[in-house]
Amino acid sequence: MSPEELAFLALAAIAFITGLSALLVRELVHTILWIGIFFVDLSAIYFLLSAPFLGVLQLGVYAGAVTILLLFGIMVTRKRIFSREAATGIGAVPTLLSVVAFVFLLIAVTSLSSTTPTFTTYDVSALSTYLFGAGGPWVLLLSLVMLAALAGAIYLVREGRE
């Protein structure tokens, strides 16, 4: 077993545990903590897959901005920041559904060709060339959506003040 493999398995285990913990803990602020770790952990996986730009992006956007935003949301909507959520039952049906989904996905995944494909790496500059060349429409679309989202978010937040 190669070091990369070992590293991946460890990171994967961490990702699953942190994700689960983020959803299950009853203290919302702890959730933010767990999800932060989760994002950082995924960022490491991206590095492992030789996608350093995305790893950085993950760190910046998710581990940074999104986590802060979520924390901010909790702070605004709560009178006391550290308060436990009411216990919610886990529920048989959702569990069953998610287990079925997992099994189904596993089956789907194993049905894919398991021949080890060649590992390819990319330059960051190649990615940026692609993004602002052939992938231009994607970026354009993203910017449009962001603009619309900006307007929408402002509207949503403003409306109640009047």
Of the candidates 80, 118, 125, 162, which one interacts with another protein according to CB under 8 A? 118
* Tokens describing residue 70: 């979520």
Kindly state the smallest distance separating residue 154's Cβ from another protein, in Å: 8
Q: How far apart are CA 22 and CA 74, in angstroms?
A: 14
Q: How far apart are CA 130 and CA 53, in angstroms?
A: 13
- Residues near another protein (CB under 8 A), total: 91
Q: How far apart are CA 97 and CA 93, in angstroms?
A: 6
Kindly state the smallest distance separating residue 111's Cβ from another protein, in Å: 9
In sequence order, what are the residues at sequence separation of 6 or more whose Cβ sits closer than 8 angstroms to the Cβ of residue 23? 31
- 131 burial type by CB count under 10 A (0-12 exposed, 13-18 middle, 19+ buried): middle
Of the candidates 10, 27, 83, 135, which one interacts with another protein according to CB under 8 A? 135
Residue placing its CB nearer to another protein in the complex, 80 or 109 = 109
Give me the torsion for CA of 22, 14, 38, 2, rounded to 10°.
-160
Kindly state the smallest distance separating residue 82's Cβ from another protein, in Å: 15
* Tokens describing residue 2: 């190669």
Interface characters, 76-115, with another protein (x: CB under 8 A): xx-------x--xxxx-xxx-xxxxxx-xxxxxxx-xxx-
**Is 120 a residue that touches another protein (CB under 8 A)?**
yes
Residues 18-77 that bind another protein (CB under 8 A): 19-20, 22-23, 28, 31, 35, 38-39, 42, 45-46, 48-51, 53-54, 57-58, 61-62, 65-66, 69-70, 72-74, 76-77
Residue type, 5: E
Of the candidates 80, 125, 159, 162, which one interacts with another protein according to CB under 8 A? 159
**78 Cα distance to chain centroid:** 24
Kindly state the smallest distance separating residue 81's Cβ from another protein, in Å: 12
